[in-house]
Amino acid sequence: MDTDLYELTLKSLKQLIVPSKYEVEIIKINKKDNIVAYNQAMNSSDAKYKIYVRNGVEIKNKNFIADMIKIFKTNWNIGIIGMSGVKVIPTDADIFASATRIGKLNDVDGREVIFSDSPDMYELAAAIDEYLMMTQYDISWREDLFCGDGLYNVAQCVEFKRNYYSVAIAGQKTPWVLYREKNIVIAQDEKEKFMYEYSKDIYPLVSILIPTYNRPQYFEIALKSAVTQTYRNVEIIIGDDSTDDKTEKIVQRYQEKYNNIFYKRNNRKCATAAERSYANYSEVLHRSHGEYVNYLHDDDIFAPSKIEKMINYYLQYSNVSLVTSYRNLINADGNKSDFNGYPRWKVEKDTLVNSKTALKNLIMNVNFIGEPTTCLVRRSTINNNFGTFAGKSFDCLNDLAQWMQSLQQGDLVYIKEPLSSLRVHDGQKTNDLFIELVFKNDYFYMYTLSYQKKLISKDEFYSIMQTWLKRAEYEPQLLDWLRTQKQARFYDEDIIDEFLLLKNQAQNIVDKLIQDTN
């Protein structure tokens, strides 16, 4: 213990005004293992109120004791109070780096550090900083989990909440405390212990949804990337449309080790492959319980920290309704490659994109946000089924439709780091000509609905409908040939008929827009 710093702290404590009918005892803790010592000190004293203060801290408010007791008596449910802390515990548990810090303090040079300036007597918090903590109830410190300085205070706040008490930051016109900053390093093993013990208490449930069909080798790679997420409070929902039991056997092996995997083998009868795929996509969502959901296509891969880094933006910024990231493109063998037709947006840092800007770019340019695997979605922005926009369900553009739906309710965060990998290979349905027509049909509806909802102007609508018509030019012989391909996996003659109908409608729309202009 630094004797000089101790004397400064002791001097400030002795100068505090003690309210009448109260008395103060000071217990000096010499032991290096302060969590054990905190328990020993707590159990050795029958005091109603206890102040745990770090060596070197100086309390400048002479009426500190009376002011703190007043807060406790105002709200009996408050169990622990600090001078600064956070509204939300970040997913890495580093509260000093949080964007939701609140409270006030003086630094060693006497400068005021103001995180928030509430006029109220107190602000409720998720956790408080460790340099000064005052309690009115005794809750044991978790000496069984922590021995370092990094997380014991955060854990103690969660323990108070487990016992149905509140955590608060004192309201201060000017800072009550001078804090000599200490370099606190969170040990990885203690972070692991913290996350294992408290994730379900403090972080929302995230559902990872894996619809799969006859890709056992790719599926296992995807599943492994889901179960190894650094974010702990997840459930994994699997819907299996496979025609054999290879995928089921893989899942059974993983279920022996992980208790958060929920599997269902589907035996539904569907008229078309597209109908089957949609049913599986929808069912895994409705079987899930997470406040946030992230689809994981059975041939794609999550980076280990994907959910942890994405959920952190939701927790700290209430105006965000969609979080995505840069993504890697990989080939059939899992090697990084470049492929045409998969636009990616490179940014220098994590970027907050205004919803109007994001929507306009999605409609008029390209889907720069990514596929379903790429985004973590707030469940409340999903209109019953994933991929419903303006009341219409989309098939091939279900991702774009959902991004449009979500972004009408808030802004977009685009993370610089690649947090997922999209696999491009010959077995994907995007290589099917019937699917190509469905894409065109979906784009027609996307453009017309966007115009109806006034997300784009009349001139912009005219421009994209002209572009759609140019891309809709097919030789009649090709469409006639497609009608004969009844053995194709995605055969559906209605797709061709709908495409021809929409092509006529598009031409009529363009003609009318030209007339209106003239």
Q: What is the pLDDT along the chain (518 residues), one digit of tens a residue?
A: 678 899 999 999 999 999 999 999 999 887 666 788 899 999 999 999 999 999 999 999 999 999 999 999 999 999 999 999 999 999 999 999 899 999 999 998 889 999 999 899 999 999 999 999 999 999 999 999 988 777 999 999 999 999 999 999 999 999 999 998 777 778 888 899 999 999 999 999 999 999 999 999 999 999 999 999 999 999 999 999 999 999 999 999 999 999 999 999 998 776 566 677 788 999 999 999 999 999 999 999 999 999 999 999 999 999 999 999 999 999 999 999 988 888 899 999 999 999 999 999 999 999 999 999 999 999 999 998 999 999 999 988 999 999 999 999 999 999 999 999 999 988 765 557 888 888 999 999 999 999 999 999 999 999 999 999 999 888 777 788 888 887 776 678 888 899 999 999 999 999 998 888 77
394 within 8 A of 325, measured Cβ to Cβ? no
End-to-end CA separation in angstroms for the chain:
85
Residue 3 to residue 483: CA distance in whole angstroms: 89
Residue 60 to residue 8: CA distance in whole angstroms: 11
What are the contacts of 34-41 at 24+ separation with CB within 8 A?
A: 34/149, 34/152, 35/141, 35/142, 35/143, 35/146, 35/147, 35/152, 36/143, 36/147, 38/141, 38/143, 39/140, 39/141, 39/143
277 within 8 A of 300, measured Cβ to Cβ? no
DSSP of 65-111: HHHHHHHHHH-TTEEEEESEEESS--TT--GGG-TTEEEEEE-TTS-
Helices marked H in 203-348: 216-227, 246-255, 273-286, 306-316
95 within 8 A of 89, measured Cβ to Cβ? yes
- Supply the pLDDT for residue 428: 66
Closest C-alpha among 495, 60, 2 to residue 274: 495
Beta bridge partners of 329: 422
Relative to beta strand 206-212, strand 127-128 is unpaired
151 within 8 A of 191, measured Cβ to Cβ? yes
237 within 8 A of 284, measured Cβ to Cβ? yes
106 within 8 A of 186, measured Cβ to Cβ? no
- Supply the pLDDT for residue 277: 79
330 within 8 A of 425, measured Cβ to Cβ? no
State how far Cα 76 lies from the chain centre.
33
- Supply the pLDDT for residue 110: 82
